[in-house]
Amino acid sequence: MAKRFLLALDQGTTSSRAILFDDEGGIYGSSNEEFRQIYPRPGWVEHDPEDIWRTQCNTARNVLDDAGATPDDIAAIGITNQRETVLLWDRRTGEPIHNAIVWQCRRTTEICEQLAADGLTDTFRERTGLVLDPYFSGTKVKWLLDHVPGARERSAKGELCFGTVDAWLLYKLTGKHATDPSNASRTLLYNIMEHRWDETLLQHLDVPAEILPEVMPTSGVFGETTVLGGSIPVASMCGDQQSALFGQTAFGRLESKNTYGTGCFLLANTGKEPVVSKHGLVTTIAWDLGKGPEYALEGSIFIAGAVVQWLRDELKMIASAAESESVASEVPDTGGVYVVPAFVGLGAPHWDMRARGLIVGLTRGSNRAHIVRAALESISFQTSDIIHSMESDTGERIPILKVDGGAAANNLLMQHQADVLGIPVVRGKVTDTTALGAAFLAGLAVGFWPNLDALRGIWQEERTFSPSWNESQRSEALSGWEHSIKRARMR
Ligand code: ADP
C-alpha cells in the first residue's frame, strides 16, 4: 500500500506531540499530551523518563487512531526533541537510573565554575562551539555519575547508556543506542570540528566513553520500530531548534530563522563552515544529511514573549497576549519610550547577568499603548542585536529572516522586525516548523521526497513583511535602543 504520511514525534519540555504530515507537508492530524515537571530544589528541573516515553507513545497512537491510519500508511518516523536534557539508563533492562536532568536545571553551576577556573573555557569553546554553562549536557552527565550510587562502577563495566531525549526515544522504539550530530553538538562532549566524541573533554568531565551513543546522520534510517504495530523506520533525529531551521527550508548559507516563544531562538545556517563567534553566540551542528555536518550560529534571547506575559500578568495592561497587538496599534509609535526586559540579565551580545530591566523615555503623555508597543519592540530590537552579531561574525549580510513560534502571530511585531532589520521577514503557513523539520528530514531519508528542492517547492509562505523604513529612521530607532541598553547594564 502506498505510504501516505510521515509521523513526526516532537518531544518538548512541557509536552509530547505527534503530528502526521502528508506529502505536501500539510498537517493531517496531531496529538498533544503534557507531562509533569519536577522541581526537587530551587533551580533544579527534572522529568521522569517514563513520563516522556509514555506521553510520546500515547500521542503517536492517538494521532494514528484519529486519522484512521495504520503503520502501513507511515513512510517513516522523524524525531525532534528538547535539547541538552540528560538521561542515563541500564543498557540491558532499559531502566533509567535517575530522573532526566532538564536543560533548564542549574545544579551544575559549580562544576562549570570549576572548569572555567581551571582555564578550560577556550578548550571547550574551540572544540564544541559552546560556552561552559549548566545549560549544556556534559556537566549534567558528570553530576549523575558522581551522585547516583553505583553509577560510576556500572558505567565502567559498560552497563549504562547516556543519551539526550532523542537517543532515549530511539532506544525505547528500536533498542538501538544512537544519536545525531545536532544533538551531540549540544553535549560539551562532542568535537564539532572533527566530528567525534572528544577524549580530552571526556577526561575533563570524567565521562567514560563506554556510555556514549553512536553518532549517526540526522537524516537516515536509525532503526525500525514495531511499537505501533507494523514495522516503521525511524529515519531522522534532530534537536528542536535545528529541526525548526530545516522545517523553514533554510538550507542555504546565511538563511536564518527566529522562533518567538517565551524566549527567542535564532539560528543562521553557515553551511559546511563552522563560524566561531566573537560576540557570544554559540556554534552548533545544524544537521548531517549523510555528507558530513553543516553548521549554524545560534543566539538566544531570555525574555521575548515573556515580556508580553509580564504586561498581562504583573502590570495587567492587557487581557491576553494577542491583545498586545491591538493596544499597541492605538498609537503610531512609542513616542520615544523604550522597554528593556533585562529581567534575568542580558544575553548575547551583551552578556551582563547583573543587568536589570527598565522603561525609559517616559513623558507626561506616555500611556499604556506606548508601553505595550515598546515592550513588543523590545523583542525585535533584541533580535536585531543578535542578527547584527551574526553578520559581524560571518562578515556577510543576513538576507531574510523566517519566523515561527507563538509571538510570530503578532503582525505589528513582525512589521517592526522587518523595519528594524531592513530585510524581509517571512512567516510560513505551517507554524509547527519544528515537527515539519523532523518530517522533512525523515522523508528525505526514505525517498518520500526526492531532494531539498522538492521541500523548497512544498514550503508555503503565509505572509511576508517588507521593510518600510529608510536608513535614517532605522538608525534613529537603533540608537535609542542602544542608549537604553547602556542604561540597563551594570557593567
Ligand atoms: P513556548 O514554546 O516558549 O511556550 P510559544 O511558541 O507557545 O512559546 O509562544 C508563547 C509566547 O508567545 C508567550 O510568551 C506569549 O506571551 C507570546 N505570544 C503569544 N501570542 C502572542 C501575540 N499575539 N502577540 C505577542 N506575543 C504573543
Cβ–ligand 1 distance for 15 under 6 Å, the answer no
**pLDDT for the residue numbered 319:** 96
**pLDDT for the residue numbered 353:** 79
What radius of gyration, in Å, describes the C-alpha atoms of the chain? Answer: 22
Please report the atom of ligand 1 found closest to the CA of residue 260.
Answer: 6
Q: Could you tell me the sign of the dihedral formed by the alpha carbons of 130, 131, 135, 140, in that order?
A: positive
Report the nearest-CA residue for atom 18 of ligand 1: 407
**pLDDT for the residue numbered 199:** 97
User: What are the helix and strand counts (H, E) for the chain?
Assistant: 16, 23
Pocket test for ligand 1, best of 11, 262, 309, 327 (most atoms within 8 A of CB): 262
Q: Do 289 and 218 contact (CB within 8 A), yes or no?
A: yes
Distance in angstroms (rounded) separating the CA atoms of residues 420 and 480: 12
Report the nearest-CA residue for atom 21 of ligand 1: 407
Cα of 353 from ligand 1 centre, angstroms: 24
Cα of 11 from ligand 1 centre, angstroms: 18
Q: Look at strands 256-260 and 401-404 and give their pairing.
A: parallel
Residue 155's SS3 state is helix
Cβ–ligand 1 distance for 321 under 6 Å, the answer yes
Collect the ranges in the chain with pLDDT lower than 70. 1
**pLDDT for the residue numbered 465:** 98
Q: What is the pLDDT of residues 125-152, one digit of tens each?
A: 999 999 898 889 999 999 999 999 999 9
The 10 Å Cβ neighbour count of residue 366 is 17
**pLDDT for the residue numbered 146:** 96
**pLDDT for the residue numbered 336:** 95
What pTM did the predictor assign? 0.93
Q: What is the pLDDT of residues 79-98, one digit of tens each?
A: 999 999 999 999 999 999 99
Cα 335 versus chain centre, distance:
34
**pLDDT for the residue numbered 176:** 97
Cα of 214 from ligand 1 centre, angstroms: 36
**pLDDT for the residue numbered 454:** 96
Among residues 220, 282, 294, 258, the alpha carbon closest in space to that of 413 is found at 258
What residue ranges do the domains of the chain occupy?
Answer: 5-239
Cβ–ligand 1 distance for 410 under 6 Å, the answer yes
Pocket test for ligand 1, best of 80, 410, 434 (most atoms within 8 A of CB): 410
∠ CA 143-212-60, nearest 5°, is 95
Going through 219-342 in order, the beta strands assigned E by DSSP cover 219-225, 232-239, 256-260, 264-271, 282-288, 293-301, 338-340
* CATH 3.30.420.40 correct for 5-239: yes
Q: Do 222 and 174 contact (CB within 8 A), yes or no?
A: yes
